[in-house]
Amino acid sequence: MDNSIRLKEIVDKKMGFYQIRTKNTIIKAMKKTKENMPF
Q: DSSP assignment of 1-39, as one string? A: -HHHHHHHHHHHHHHHHHHHHHHHHHHHHHHHHHHH---
Q: pLDDT by residue (tens digit) across 9-30? A: 999 999 888 898 999 999 999 8
Residue 38 predicted with pLDDT over 80: no
Q: How far apart are CA 33 and CA 7, in angstroms?
A: 39
How many alpha carbons fall within 13 Å on the CB side of residue 19?
6
pLDDT of amino acid 32: 86
In this prediction, residues 1-6 reach a mean pLDDT of 80
